[in-house]
Chains A and B, each alone.
Chain A
């Protein structure tokens, strides 16, 4: 089973609206990361939040982490058509190491 489950699986919004996607995970982590993937391309790292942080901002991105609920959310404010992509959360295990475990992903479509 997936370490990370994301919801919704797909999200369609209008340009200028905010987009929120959620990630749940099962085991203890040292950090949680969010990646974006444009269709058929490589993944791009967006933001990393450590297990002792609760909220982090980067430009139009806001990430929250609730380790007691084993969940995270990614908020994209004032969305643009260029934000259309798949978004994946990925967790690094407690204790560290190289292995990231990816969530199932959310497909975001931002319409003009």
Chain B
């Protein structure tokens, strides 16, 4: 199974709401990622989990809170977002890179709209 699944596909939330994005993979990958992508732009790395521990946080505002409950699951908790946070949120996974950087497998994304 080479699939990364993400739920929900679409999410509309108000600035006072709390919501969560979910991501799952069953490829045995020990690195998992959250990216944010605006239209016609490349993905921007937000967080990297390595062996279920947060290894990279690209100075993301605290209104985004990642969580890795186990090696197959990755969540992104959202709270008090701003309209400019509207974007496509992509989850990805890969083998854990040491001396090399492995290819990443991406989910289909969650299209988030903040009203």
Contact = CB atoms under 8 A, between A and B. Distances in A.
Contacts of A12: none
Contact of A93 (B45, B48, B101): B101
A30 B40 contact: no
B42 interface: yes
Q: Which bracket fits the contact residues of B?
A: 20 to 34
B109 A41 contact: yes
Contacts of B56: 98-99
A25 interface: no
Interface string A1-33: 010000000000000000000000000001101
A102 B42 contact: yes
Q: Which bracket fits the contact residues of A?
A: 20 to 34
B45 A99 contact: yes
Given A98-B55, A98-B94, A98-B97, A45 B48 contact: no
A14 B104 CA distance: 30
Interface in B75-115: 88, 90, 92, 94, 96-109, 111
Contacts of A45: 103-105
Closest 9 CB pairs of A and B: A92-B101, A42-B106, A102-B42, A96-B99, A45-B103, A43-B106, A42-B108, A98-B97, A96-B100
Interface of B: 4, 31, 33, 40-43, 45, 48, 50, 55-56, 88, 90, 92, 94, 96-109, 111
B106 A98 contact: no
Contacts of B101: 30-31, 33, 91-93, 96-100
Interface in A17-61: 30-31, 33, 35, 40-45, 48
21 contacts: A30-B101, A33-B103, A40-B109, A41-B108, A42-B92, A42-B106, A42-B109, A44-B106, A45-B103, A88-B42, A92-B100, A96-B97, A96-B99, A96-B100, A98-B31, A98-B33, A98-B50, A99-B56, A100-B45, A102-B42, A105-B42
Interface string A89-112: 001110111111011110100000
Interface of A is mostly: strand
Interface of A: 2, 30-31, 33, 35, 40-45, 48, 86, 88, 91-93, 95-100, 102-105, 107
